[in-house]
Amino acid sequence: MFESLIDRGFQIDIHSHAQAILSVDFPDAVSELESAIGGLSIPIEEIVGSGGGESQGTQRLRRSLAELGWTKMNFTVEKRINGVAREAISHEIDHVKTFGPGVIACEIEWNNKDPFYDRDLENFKRLHADSAISVGVIITRGTSMQDELKAMVQRFATERGLNSHEAVVEFGMSRTARQNREVDRRIRVGMSYEEAWAGQFVSDKYGQATTHWAKLEDRVHRGVGNPCPLVLVGLPSSIVTFDEGLALEDIEKEADALVAEGIADAAD
């Protein structure tokens, strides 16, 4: 199961009989997830230049899932006494699809604060307990992606000539005085500008307190979300490309186009 992703270096971790459930009742769900996730690539320019918490690559992944029918759904669970609604709990899941035997729910956590995992796993647990979903899926940055981010960003800085504060600004990236001071501090202990800048950038934007595999694995091994059947997918460093040659304005244009598409879809 998920062999095509595993062959490409994706991390796959399956819990609480999810493999048996998917293989028997949801083979189409597995195929669709493999197709959408397996087609993902992220240019290094998007990792460096994207604003907010999510790269355009993961926005494209969301788009691919939506095109396959994995759309946002708000689950509302009500408690009624003698037919009167007394309380209601709502759970919004970004990607949900109904198949013949049941429902599969999926969340993408590219670069949020790591407590978002608690929210996702607890939502899956409650929805599974209420027979609203059969399996929960979480897609996040894998170990190789997290471990190699600094080296990849440093390579980008070297290839693009980002060797001074002025070069970074000229490239189109604004930096705060605090960030520049931290880069200068690292240079004083012997780092090159590119290494110092890459280390500071990754620490600020993709640090240990953000959503990545180790943080997710720790929660699942502690039983968060149990006993909901789970599939965890870690995005590997191998999907990051260095041959796109994108400029920041290209990234911004694609982001605007993706937003416009989302607005148009909502209007439809």
pLDDT digit string, tens, across residues 147-173: 999 999 999 999 999 999 999 999 888
Counting residues of the chain whose pLDDT is more than 70, the rounded percentage is 89
| Residues 99-124, mean pLDDT to the nearest whole number | 96
More confident residue, 151 or 77: 151
Structural domain total, the chain: 1
| Residues 111-130, mean pLDDT to the nearest whole number | 95
CA distance 202 to 248: 18
Q: Quickly state the pLDDT bin for 69 (edges 50, 70, 90).
A: very high
Q: Which domain holds residue 120?
A: 3-74+86-148+219-267
- Ramachandran quadrant class, 237 (left: phi over 0; alpha: psi -120 to 50; beta: rest): alpha
Show the DSSP H helices in 93-189 as ranges. Answer: 116-129, 143-159, 165-171, 177-188
| Residues 44-53, mean pLDDT to the nearest whole number | 75
pLDDT score, position 49: 79
Side-chain-side CA neighbours of 12 within 13 Å: the count stands at 18
CB-based burial of residue 208 (10 Å sphere; 0-12 exposed, 13-18 middle, 19+ buried)? exposed
pTM, full prediction: 0.88
More confident residue, 115 or 251: 115
User: Out of 39-43, 47-51, 82-86, which region has the weakest mean confidence (pLDDT)?
Assistant: 47-51
Detail the DSSP E strand segments found in 211-256. 230-235, 240-241
User: Out of 152-161, 163-172, 193-202, 251-260, which region has the weakest mean confidence (pLDDT)?
Assistant: 251-260
Is 250 inside a domain boundary?
yes
Is 188 inside a domain boundary?
no
Q: Quickly state the pLDDT bin for 254 (edges 50, 70, 90).
A: low
Q: Quickly state the pLDDT bin for 54 (edges 50, 70, 90).
A: low
pLDDT of 265 higher than 80: no
CB-based burial of residue 103 (10 Å sphere; 0-12 exposed, 13-18 middle, 19+ buried)? buried
Q: What is the mean pLDDT of the chain?
A: 89
Name residues whose C-beta falls within 8 Å of residue 6's C-beta, 6 or more positions apart in sequence.
Answer: 12
pLDDT of 266 higher than 80: no
Strand partners, 98: 103
Strand partners, 108: 139
pLDDT of 190 higher than 60: yes
Is 28 inside a domain boundary?
yes
User: Coil, helix or strand for 70?
Assistant: coil
Q: Which residue type is seen at 129?
A: A
Query: What's the pLDDT tens digit per position in 9-38?
Result: 999 999 999 999 999 999 999 999 999 999
What CATH number should be reported for the domain holding residue 232? Answer: 3.40.91.20
pLDDT of 201 higher than 60: yes
From residue 34, give the alpha-carbon distance in Å to each of 6, 8, 63.
10, 11, 14
| Residues 202-221, mean pLDDT to the nearest whole number | 95
Tokens 């009500």 identify what position? 78
Strand partners, 59: none
Is 209 inside a domain boundary?
no
pLDDT score, position 50: 56
CB-based burial of residue 143 (10 Å sphere; 0-12 exposed, 13-18 middle, 19+ buried)? middle
pLDDT of 80 higher than 90: no
Is 40 inside a domain boundary?
yes
Query: What's the pLDDT tens digit per position in 228-245?
Result: 999 999 999 999 999 766
Is 214 inside a domain boundary?
no
pLDDT of 122 higher than 70: yes
Is 182 inside a domain boundary?
no
Is 194 inside a domain boundary?
no
User: Which two three-digit tokens encode residue 144?
Assistant: 């190789």
DSSP letter for 238, please. Answer: G
